[in-house]
A and B are shown apart, each in its own frame.
Chain A
Amino acid sequence: MTTFLFSSSGDSDLGAQLKRLRALGTLQPFSPAVTEFVGDFSRRVLKLPQLRAHPELATLAHWFRSAGVAHLERRASAVEGNRILARGLVFHLAPANVDVLFAYAWLMSVLSGNTNVARLSQKPSAQRDALIGILGAMRAEGLHAQVLERTILLTYPHDNAITAKISSYCHARIVWGGDATVRTIRAIPLPPLAVELAFPDRFGVAAISARALDAVGDGDLPSLARRFANDVLWFGQQACSSPRCLYWIGDHETIARGKARLWRAVSEDASRFEDETAALMSRVTDAHLLAALGHASTIDGGFSSLPIRLQAGSSDGEVRELQSGNGLVVEVELASLDEVGAQLDDRDQTLVQFGFEPVEIDALLAQLRGRAIDRVVPFGRALDFHHVWDGTDLFSVLRRQVTLASV
């Protein structure tokens, strides 16, 4: 059964709503109607009472502030001489958790001028309620009618018939979710001209140069450790880009010194992360699972340290697949960064790095096979959003270019 969480029309018939959206057509990308809506939306997010408990909402609002939108507009410029139009009707399928990731793609789609239908998860969450509340308030105040009438947020239990019906109207479908969800939705037909973008399960890894860490003074270490702790521990280490493995690059002696310094600094900082006993039980279970299967040779710091640190000779996507997050890092020592390449595969999305020269990173990228690594970011930026996500520029899907030939 479909539940409309937000729609400017009271019509309970899904088909009628979809026909209405299609008849409305699109808006101009980055036209005042859409940028004013996005600006107002992020201002309202910053005033939410839930903001304190959900820092990711503040990050979202910051990303879509006026300067951020202006920056996006410059980035999204067309090939010289071409004209840009909206893609059309975009169907978003949000993930079961981390709703806020979907909000980035949805707001970018609004900026691109599209009409949007979004299926949100069945489970109410602070983010979900905040989103719906803001749209409701805007409608009550009579603002942003052009965007609001092109916006439908709904939810329904997993139902291929409903997904198929909405899909039959869309020009682009964006799927966030686990591999199984992506597989199920992939099998549901799209109109011949529609495009699809899927964001399945991916993993993050980190690499650190032991020599570069040695050069970091004790005064600067806490801030580096803090950025790394954010990368690893925010969202319970459940985000696609949360590092699950840390590759130490250097000689054993320098690495040993680096480990002692970095982890001491992280442990002095880790108390600010909420840690449930259920998460503790999960990482303790994972530690035993990895050890039982021969993926860990020793443990450093015992079961009470956050994160739990297992030492291993190597660690690849198979191991990351077994890890449930919740604060467990596998540490591997290697002599040079390009050796990491052999332990990466399609499932690895983000490399969080500290202390490497561009030439070293290029040497690693040249080693990669298949789809391994779509992002390389410094410590502290693992969870940042970028309009190029999983290797694809979202704007290339959310908008289309009209080639304009003069001769």
Chain B
Amino acid sequence: MSSTEAIAPLDADVYGLDRVSKRRWLLGGLNDLTQHHRENCTEYGRMVDSLWPASITAPDLESVPWLPVRLFKMLDLKSVPHHEVSRTLVSSGTTGAAVSRIFLDADTARSQTRALTRIFAEFAGNKRMPMLVVDDDSFLRDRSRFNARAAGILGFANFGRDHKYLLDEQLRPDWDALEAWLERHSDQPVFLFGFTYIVWQSLVMAARHDGRRFRLPPGSLLVHGGGWKKMEEAKVDNAAFKAALHDVLGLERVHNYYGMVEQVGSVFFECEHGHLHSPAYADVIVRSTDDLTPVPHGTPGVIQVLSLLPRSYPGHSLLTEDLGVIHGEDDCPCGRNGKHFGVLGRLKNVEIRGCSDTRTVPTP
């Protein structure tokens, strides 16, 4: 398969395919990927041949072989020769914990960037906005630490201009610098990006602590992700989070996203109705916490993610350690097609991960 065919999945309408055409199209592509990885990754070949012999050509999406996501911490899995690896992504984890290593070649890295661009445009349009990053910029000076956090920030940084990093290395905000920056961009919407818990502690709580309030220009939006575990511990749910952002910054548009470094392209954005959406080239299946068989919509279970983009490593079908629930398919009130779902947190007694949950954030 040539490199142009490799990114062909991105030509589909991001939220336009209906259930029947999406399932047919995804299944063909995923079966091709299973075959491709089976032929090009020795370890993957052994896994499907011994554990998934009946699913090498899967009859339906639910039968496509999946890999447990923790496996990427134990094995270096790649389907390209080492010299073709252009970038190695490393997952976030608490200090001392093992990390995933994900190997991208130029094609897969490019399709990842294009996928994110198309999804982002569906929510924020194509125009680059002034961008405020609710994080510190130390990672920019040290490219050896190209972890999930850096990948997340840099991935979204493409959609902004005149970037301002709000926090210092201790994750403390510089309010005066923020005011000066906002003054320069008072006449147009701005784009904020950050990891959920850092936005909460170092922006919302810090502003309240310091008695600061800001009015962002109308139409400004925040995109945030990286896990809710610390937010749950702080007893802050999505509604309270949004209300606080509105109060402190006057923000109206807040979009959470769900995704993981182990599966490029699977970025699930939260719509105006609070539901996460599968783009055309990715999907979610929710499985029983007892025996991993698929459960009906509305029943909570373990989230499996599917994506047509991972070609340089066998990550096209992964079983996560997150709990979720599918709300429906092709019937979200926002009008976007595809499955829409919610994430209910991590399974009990599994490792903590995610950019929002693995960093030490000072209390203001």
Contact = CB atoms under 8 A, between A and B. Distances in A.
Given A277-B347, A278-B347, A291-B50, A285 B71 contact: yes
Contacts of A292: 43-44, 46-47, 71, 75, 77
A304 B50 CA distance: 16
B170 interface: no
A292 B68 CA distance: 12
B292 A280 contact: yes
B349 A288 contact: no
A188 interface: no
Interface in B284-325: 289-293, 302, 319, 321
B350 interface: yes
A276 B348 contact: yes
A285 B71 CA distance: 6
Contacts of B67: 288
A293 interface: yes
Contacts of B51: 287-288, 291, 296, 298-299
Interface string B26-47: 0000000000000000011011
A280 B68 CA distance: 11
B243 interface: no
A280 B347 CA distance: 11
B74 interface: yes
A253 B302 CA distance: 39
Contacts of A275: 290
A277 B289 contact: yes
Given A277-B302, A278-B347, A278-B348, A288 B293 contact: no
Contacts of B253: none
Interface in A278-304: 278, 280-281, 284-285, 287-289, 291-294, 296-299, 303-304
Contacts of A310: 50
A285 B53 CA distance: 17
B23 interface: no
A276 B346 CA distance: 13
Contacts of A277: 289-290, 302, 347-348
Contact of A304 (B43, B75, B292): B292
Contacts of B47: 288, 291-292
Contacts of A293: 43, 46, 75
Contact of A284 (B75, B319, B348): B319
Interface residues of B, number: 26
Contacts of A294: 46
A284 B290 CA distance: 12
A299 to B, nearest CB: 5
B299 to A, nearest CB: 14
Given A294-B46, A296-B51, A304-B293, A288 B348 contact: no
B70 interface: yes
Contacts of B292: 280, 284, 303-304
Contact of A278 (B43, B44, B291, B350): B350
A61 to B, nearest CB: 28
B315 to A, nearest CB: 13
Contacts of A288: 47, 51, 67-68, 71
B70 to A, nearest CB: 5
A284 B304 CA distance: 14
A298 B50 contact: yes
Interface string A180-221: 000000000000000000000000000000000000000000
Nearest to A283: B68
A281 B350 contact: yes
Nearest to B289: A277
B349 A276 contact: yes
A298 B49 CA distance: 8
A276 B46 CA distance: 28
Contacts of B289: 277, 280
A285 B349 contact: no
A122 B348 CA distance: 21
Contacts of A285: 68, 70-71, 74
Given A277-B347, A294-B46, A299-B51, A304 B71 contact: no
A295 to B, nearest CB: 9
Contact of A289 (B53, B74, B319): B74
Nearest to A275: B290
A303 B292 CA distance: 8
B78 to A, nearest CB: 13
Interface string A125-160: 000000000000000000000000000000000000
Contacts of A284: 68, 292, 319
Contacts of A287: 51
A292 B70 CA distance: 13
A277 B302 CA distance: 9
Contacts of B348: 276-278
Q: Which of A281, A284, A298 neighbours the largest number of chain B CB atoms within 10 Å of its CB?
A: A281
A294 B68 CA distance: 17
A389 B51 CA distance: 38
Contacts of A299: 50-51
Interface string B48-89: 001101000000000000011011001101000000000000
Nearest to B301: A277
A278 B74 CA distance: 17
B68 A281 contact: yes
- Listed from nearest, the 5 A-B pairs whose CB atoms lie closest are A304-B291, A292-B43, A278-B349, A285-B68, A277-B289
15 contacts: A275-B290, A276-B348, A276-B349, A277-B347, A280-B292, A281-B70, A281-B321, A281-B347, A284-B292, A285-B70, A288-B47, A291-B47, A292-B46, A293-B43, A310-B50
Interface of A: 275-278, 280-281, 284-285, 287-289, 291-294, 296-299, 303-304, 310
Given A278-B321, A291-B46, 11 more contacts: A276-B348, A277-B290, A281-B321, A285-B74, A289-B71, A292-B44, A292-B77, A297-B50, A303-B292, A304-B290, A304-B291
